[in-house]
């Protein structure tokens, strides 16, 4: 049985999922020896705006300002959005960190692919 099936079969509560998510992010950070910043959309929101939009720049910049390491991984889950906004995010990352990697556990569509191709 796969890891995903194991999670589904556990029928975890929201709080338990939150604890597990944080545990796995710490594990990824330790394995890759760099901080991990998560930028994820909730694709189950129905008609709510979940795409990458210009107002996302301020909180994204705010979150990167808390990271003190030279390298970073961005874990991204997005249906896409405004390409120019993602380009600005990538430039922000490039100007703040020596190297960055991109982890896509599910989907990074449309403008979200710019993160992947902008990495170094």
At 72-115, the pLDDT tens digits run: 999 988 888 899 999 999 999 999 999 999 998 888 888 888 87
Provide the 8-state DSSP code for 40: E
Q: What are phi and psi of 76, to 5 degrees?
A: -125, 140
Is residue 42 scored above 70 in pLDDT?
A: no
Q: Which CATH superfamily is domain 34-118 in?
A: 2-enoyl-CoA Hydratase; Chain A, domain 1 (3.90.226.10)
Domain positions in the chain are 1-32, 34-118
CB atoms within 10 A of CB 14: 7
Provide the 8-state DSSP code for 79: -
Q: Strands across the sheet with 99-103, in order?
A: 35-40, 71-77, 99-103
Query: CA–CA separation, 71 vs 86, rounded Å?
Result: 19
Each residue's pLDDT tens digit, 49-78: 678 889 999 999 999 999 988 999 999 888
């Amino acid at each position: 049985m796969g890891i995903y099936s194991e999670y589904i079969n556990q029928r975890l509560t929201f709080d338990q999922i939150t604890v597990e998510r944080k545990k796995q992010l710490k594990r990824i950070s330790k394995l890759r020896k760099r901080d991990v910043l998560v930028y994820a959309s909730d694709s189950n929101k129905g008609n709510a705006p979940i795409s990458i939009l210009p107002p996302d720049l301020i909180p994204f910049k705010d979150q990167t300002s808390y990271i003190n390491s030279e390298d970073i991984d961005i874990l991204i889950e997005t249906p896409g959005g405004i390409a120019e906004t993602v380009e600005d995010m990538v430039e922000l990352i490039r100007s703040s960190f020596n190297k960055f990697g991109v982890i896509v556990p599910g989907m990074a569509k449309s403008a979200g692919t710019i993160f992947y191709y902008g990495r170094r």
